[in-house]
Amino acid sequence: MIVAGDWVLPVEGAPIRHGAVRLRGQFVREVGYAPELRAAHPGEETHDLSGCIIAPGLVNAHTHLALTGLAGIADATSMSPWLRQIARASSALDPDDLAASVTLGARMCLASGTTCVGDIAYGPESPSAAADVGLGGVFFWEVLGVEEADLGPHLQAKDFPAAAADACRGRTACGISAHAPYTSGPGLIRAAHAMAAELGVPFAMHMAESRAESRLLLHGTGELAGVAERLAKGFRPPGRGAVGYLDSISALKGTVAVHCVEVDERDASMLAASAAGVVLCPRSNARLGNGRAPVGALLAAGCRIGLGTDSLASNADLDMFSEARALRELAPELTAERTLRILTVEGAEVLGAGARHGLLGPGRHADLIAVKAPDTDSPVEALLAAEGRGAVRAVMSGGVWRVLNGKLTTAESRAEAQRVDAIREKARRAVSEEPWAGEP
């Protein structure tokens, strides 16, 4: 199959006017000038997406798809009450609820051009449901509130694959995440980090997300002190920020560092030297009142950057075009070309998925998007100016069309919609109930 457009953006390599991508099965075979590819392969089926820019599928490097059904449930004005309400709401969901929520979120991602995610998973429902819809990426099993000795049994109870590097191949990979310094004690963080390294899978953590977290780590005080006392077994205030703390317990190397709002230039240098990369979530951070990440300092230090929406429980949508515009507002010096890399191959590399995701080139996954754009000599800027889902005309993942003519090829069924309505009702009831002992 040959897919042609007004422009093709391979990402690595110059934009190609009147370009095309030749696909075979689940992989890209060639990228080049459309007339030449047609002439070389006259028998190939051709999809001509005129008026569109063709680019790799986008990478949403930090999501919680299992929380999609909790949109609007929690008070997203500050971190602490939001955490409490989300803990109550999510505790009411069973595995079928989680799967339905992931399915809804995966469809939203695909509809807006995302084909790869870095998702926080609470069990096998997330990768399974996402794969069924056609969304790939890395799915990080999250751990918190348990002792170091209980890590293995805890993951086993959550059906984490014993041979994760072998069991999670291809478009759906597995990883491990210790939630945050205030919910995971130092022993658990070290053990989870070591287990990920031993299994050869990525490791991620939320870190330096809020002032409340910084107060806890520096002084042992503030609204998260009680959370840490209950959940972060063995925690003692280290008297330093999150980045330095994780480095001191040998848990920063190779880590996907998510949020990183509360960091300084020294932290940025440590992240650049040790972490797999930094994933920024500017709209979620703003909505929860957590401030603005120092994007300029992170760029100057040489950090590899990914971009994520976080969950629909803390963001208005899962649209990476809107997230990219928010990022550029924080760092006006960010070029269109670097922004496109962050949205694609750089985000994939942060997640450890750069071998197949994020580029249009031979051997890469057949993941691409076609975005409606006016005639232009600046196709990268034109792509980034697209109005999100409304401009996405076609999406392919794994060699299968997921969106055509701006519409999902498999729409949500009535039963699925009813399930999501039921999830929201369960969550609302849970939030209105008395606090439970394990909530933050």
Per-residue pLDDT reduced to its tens digit, 245-286: 999 999 999 999 999 999 999 999 999 999 999 999 999 999
Determine the pLDDT at residue 413. 77
Residue with tokens 């478009």: 171
Reported confidence tier of residue 167, pLDDT bands at 50, 70, 90? low
Determine the pLDDT at residue 92. 82
With beta carbons less than 8 A apart as the criterion, state whether 395 and 136 touch. Answer: no
Q: What angle do CA 362, 368, 371 make, to 5 degrees?
A: 140
247-253: list long-range contacts, CB under 8 Å, 24+ apart: 247/274, 249/186, 249/189, 249/190, 250/190, 250/193, 251/178, 251/189, 251/190, 251/193, 251/205
Name the pTM for this structure. 0.95
Tell me the C-alpha distance between 199 and 201, whole Å: 6
The yes-or-no verdict on residue 177 having pLDDT over 60 is: yes
Reported confidence tier of residue 420, pLDDT bands at 50, 70, 90? confident
If you average pLDDT over every residue of the chain, what do you get?
Answer: 93
Axis crossing angle, helix 414-432 with helix 95-111, rounded to the nearest 10: 120
| Residue 277 vs residues 42, 264, 272, 299, 419: alpha-carbon distances, Å | 43, 16, 7, 11, 36
The yes-or-no verdict on residue 325 having pLDDT over 90 is: yes
The yes-or-no verdict on residue 185 having pLDDT over 50 is: yes
Residue 403 sits at φ, ψ, to 5 deg, of -135, 130
Residue 354 sits at φ, ψ, to 5 deg, of -75, -10
The yes-or-no verdict on residue 436 having pLDDT over 60 is: no
The neighbour count for residue 296, using CB atoms within 10 Å, is 15
Containing 186, the helix (H) or strand (E) segment is helix 186-199
The yes-or-no verdict on residue 99 having pLDDT over 60 is: yes
